[in-house]
Protein backbone atom coordinates (compact mmCIF):
# COMPACT_ATOMS: atom_id res chain seq x y z
CA UNK A 1 0.00 0.00 0.00
CA UNK A 2 0.99 3.61 -0.47
CA UNK A 3 1.13 4.29 3.27
CA UNK A 4 3.56 1.38 3.65
CA UNK A 5 5.78 2.90 0.98
CA UNK A 6 5.91 6.14 3.02
CA UNK A 7 7.03 4.20 6.11
CA UNK A 8 4.18 5.27 8.38
CA UNK A 9 3.75 1.82 9.89
CA UNK A 10 7.45 1.28 10.54
CA UNK A 11 8.35 4.61 12.10
CA UNK A 12 10.26 2.63 14.70
CA UNK A 13 11.51 4.17 17.89
CA UNK A 14 13.38 2.65 20.77
CA UNK A 15 11.45 2.08 23.96
CA UNK A 16 13.85 3.51 26.55
CA UNK A 17 12.66 1.16 29.31
CA UNK A 18 13.02 -2.11 27.42
CA UNK A 19 15.27 -1.22 24.47
CA UNK A 20 12.78 -3.08 22.26
CA UNK A 21 11.62 -1.53 19.02
CA UNK A 22 8.05 -0.27 19.10
CA UNK A 23 5.96 1.34 16.41
CA UNK A 24 3.70 4.26 17.18
CA UNK A 25 1.10 4.77 14.49
CA UNK A 26 -2.26 6.12 15.64
CA UNK A 27 -4.98 6.37 13.01
CA UNK A 28 -7.92 8.81 12.96
CA UNK A 29 -10.71 7.60 10.65
CA UNK A 30 -13.04 10.56 9.98
CA UNK A 31 -16.48 9.84 8.48
CA UNK A 32 -15.74 6.26 9.55
CA UNK A 33 -18.96 4.53 8.49
CA UNK A 34 -18.32 0.86 9.28
CA UNK A 35 -14.71 1.58 10.27
CA UNK A 36 -13.19 -0.40 7.41
CA UNK A 37 -10.37 2.08 6.72
CA UNK A 38 -9.22 2.32 10.35
CA UNK A 39 -9.61 -1.43 10.82
CA UNK A 40 -7.41 -2.04 7.78
CA UNK A 41 -4.82 0.26 9.34
CA UNK A 42 -4.95 -1.69 12.61
CA UNK A 43 -4.43 -4.90 10.64
CA UNK A 44 -1.33 -3.37 9.04
CA UNK A 45 0.24 -2.38 12.34
CA UNK A 46 -1.38 0.79 13.65
CA UNK A 47 -1.25 0.80 17.44
CA UNK A 48 -4.65 2.42 17.86
CA UNK A 49 -7.51 3.99 15.95
CA UNK A 50 -10.20 6.54 16.69
CA UNK A 51 -13.30 6.35 14.49
CA UNK A 52 -15.36 9.54 14.08
CA UNK A 53 -18.86 9.50 12.63
CA UNK A 54 -21.96 11.61 13.22
CA UNK A 55 -24.38 8.67 12.98
CA UNK A 56 -24.86 6.64 16.16
CA UNK A 57 -25.62 3.49 14.13
CA UNK A 58 -22.23 3.83 12.39
CA UNK A 59 -20.47 4.17 15.74
CA UNK A 60 -22.29 1.08 17.00
CA UNK A 61 -21.21 -0.87 13.91
CA UNK A 62 -17.60 0.31 14.39
CA UNK A 63 -17.62 -0.91 18.01
CA UNK A 64 -18.94 -4.29 16.88
CA UNK A 65 -16.43 -4.55 14.03
CA UNK A 66 -13.50 -3.64 16.29
CA UNK A 67 -14.49 -6.50 18.59
CA UNK A 68 -15.17 -8.98 15.76
CA UNK A 69 -11.77 -8.23 14.23
CA UNK A 70 -9.99 -8.86 17.54
CA UNK A 71 -8.90 -5.27 18.16
CA UNK A 72 -10.53 -4.77 21.56
CA UNK A 73 -8.91 -1.87 23.37
CA UNK A 74 -7.32 -0.52 20.18
CA UNK A 75 -10.36 1.13 18.57
CA UNK A 76 -12.46 3.98 19.96
CA UNK A 77 -15.64 5.11 18.18
CA UNK A 78 -16.56 8.78 18.76
CA UNK A 79 -20.03 9.87 17.71
CA UNK A 80 -19.81 13.57 16.80
CA UNK A 81 -19.56 16.12 14.02
CA UNK A 82 -16.34 15.72 12.01
CA UNK A 83 -15.48 19.43 12.02
CA UNK A 84 -15.92 19.58 15.79
CA UNK A 85 -13.62 16.57 16.21
CA UNK A 86 -10.95 18.23 14.06
CA UNK A 87 -11.25 21.72 15.54
CA UNK A 88 -11.87 20.92 19.21
CA UNK A 89 -11.00 17.26 19.77
CA UNK A 90 -10.75 17.52 23.55
CA UNK A 91 -14.44 18.48 23.72
CA UNK A 92 -15.38 15.07 22.29
CA UNK A 93 -12.77 13.03 24.20
CA UNK A 94 -10.07 12.73 21.53
CA UNK A 95 -6.55 13.28 22.84
CA UNK A 96 -3.04 13.24 21.44
CA UNK A 97 -1.83 13.33 17.87
CA UNK A 98 -2.15 10.90 15.00
CA UNK A 99 0.30 9.67 12.40
CA UNK A 100 -2.43 8.86 9.85
CA UNK A 101 -5.74 10.65 9.30
CA UNK A 102 -8.19 9.45 6.69
CA UNK A 103 -11.16 11.57 5.64
CA UNK A 104 -13.80 9.87 3.49
CA UNK A 105 -16.89 12.11 3.61
CA UNK A 106 -20.22 11.74 1.86
CA UNK A 107 -19.38 13.90 -1.18
CA UNK A 108 -22.46 16.12 -1.31
CA UNK A 109 -22.67 16.73 2.44
CA UNK A 110 -19.44 18.63 3.11
CA UNK A 111 -17.82 21.89 2.13
CA UNK A 112 -14.30 20.79 1.23
CA UNK A 113 -12.72 24.20 1.83
CA UNK A 114 -13.97 24.13 5.45
CA UNK A 115 -12.90 20.51 5.85
CA UNK A 116 -9.38 21.16 4.54
CA UNK A 117 -8.98 24.26 6.74
CA UNK A 118 -10.13 22.28 9.78
CA UNK A 119 -7.76 19.39 9.21
CA UNK A 120 -4.77 21.62 8.35
CA UNK A 121 -5.19 23.56 11.60
CA UNK A 122 -6.19 20.64 13.82
CA UNK A 123 -4.27 20.00 17.06
CA UNK A 124 -4.54 16.29 16.17
CA UNK A 125 -1.78 16.60 13.57
CA UNK A 126 1.90 16.40 14.29
CA UNK A 127 4.94 16.86 12.10
CA UNK A 128 4.79 14.26 9.27
CA UNK A 129 1.17 13.24 9.88
CA UNK A 130 -0.13 11.71 6.66
CA UNK A 131 -3.62 12.94 5.72
CA UNK A 132 -5.67 11.06 3.12
CA UNK A 133 -8.72 12.83 1.69
CA UNK A 134 -11.25 11.24 -0.65
CA UNK A 135 -13.24 13.58 -2.91
CA UNK A 136 -15.35 13.45 -6.09
CA UNK A 137 -13.80 14.11 -9.50
CA UNK A 138 -16.57 16.67 -10.09
CA UNK A 139 -14.92 18.90 -7.47
CA UNK A 140 -12.00 19.47 -9.84
CA UNK A 141 -8.79 19.28 -7.85
CA UNK A 142 -7.82 19.98 -4.26
CA UNK A 143 -4.84 22.34 -3.91
CA UNK A 144 -1.26 21.10 -3.66
CA UNK A 145 -0.63 23.30 -0.61
CA UNK A 146 -3.26 23.91 2.08
CA UNK A 147 -3.28 26.72 4.66
CA UNK A 148 0.02 28.30 3.62
CA UNK A 149 1.95 25.04 3.42
CA UNK A 150 0.70 23.31 6.56
CA UNK A 151 -0.37 20.42 4.31
CA UNK A 152 1.75 19.55 1.28
CA UNK A 153 0.32 17.28 -1.41
CA UNK A 154 2.29 14.14 -2.22
CA UNK A 155 -0.30 12.11 -4.20
CA UNK A 156 -3.51 12.88 -6.07
CA UNK A 157 -4.94 9.90 -7.93
CA UNK A 158 -8.23 9.34 -9.75
CA UNK A 159 -10.14 6.05 -9.45
CA UNK A 160 -13.34 6.33 -11.49
CA UNK A 161 -15.48 9.08 -9.90
CA UNK A 162 -13.27 9.10 -6.79
CA UNK A 163 -10.05 11.03 -6.27
CA UNK A 164 -7.70 10.32 -3.37
CA UNK A 165 -5.37 13.11 -2.28
CA UNK A 166 -2.55 12.42 0.17
CA UNK A 167 -0.88 15.19 2.14
CA UNK A 168 1.87 15.44 4.73
CA UNK A 169 1.53 17.92 7.58
CA UNK A 170 4.66 20.02 8.10
CA UNK A 171 6.98 17.49 6.41
CA UNK A 172 10.34 17.05 8.15
CA UNK A 173 11.92 14.68 5.66
CA UNK A 174 11.70 11.68 8.04
CA UNK A 175 9.20 9.85 5.84
CA UNK A 176 10.64 7.77 3.03
CA UNK A 177 11.61 9.46 -0.21
CA UNK A 178 8.41 8.17 -1.84
CA UNK A 179 6.54 10.75 0.28
CA UNK A 180 8.00 13.77 -1.51
CA UNK A 181 5.94 16.72 -2.73
CA UNK A 182 4.37 16.21 -6.16
CA UNK A 183 2.71 19.45 -7.31
CA UNK A 184 2.34 18.07 -10.84
CA UNK A 185 -0.32 15.64 -9.54
CA UNK A 186 -2.49 18.48 -8.23
CA UNK A 187 -3.89 19.78 -11.50
CA UNK A 188 -7.43 19.58 -12.84
CA UNK A 189 -8.32 15.97 -13.55
Q: Residues near 11 by Cβ (< 8 Å), separated by ≥ 6?
A: 23, 24, 25, 99, 174
Give me the residues paired with residue 155 across strands. Answer: 166
Q: What angle do CA 174, 171, 134 make, to 5 degrees?
A: 115
Question: What distance in Å separates the CA atoms of residue 67 and residue 85, rounded to the nearest whole number?
Answer: 23
DSSP symbol at 63: H
Taking only the tens place, the pLDDT of each residue in 90-110 is 999 999 999 999 999 998 899
Residue ranges in the chain modelled with pLDDT below 70: 1, 11-23, 188-189
Predicted pLDDT of residue 13: 38
Amino acid sequence: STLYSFGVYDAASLDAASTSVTTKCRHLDVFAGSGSVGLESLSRGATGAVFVDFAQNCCDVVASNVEKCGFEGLGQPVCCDALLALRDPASVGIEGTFQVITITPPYEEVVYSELMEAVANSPLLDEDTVVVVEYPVELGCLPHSVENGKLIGIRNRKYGRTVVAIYVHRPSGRLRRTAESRPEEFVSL
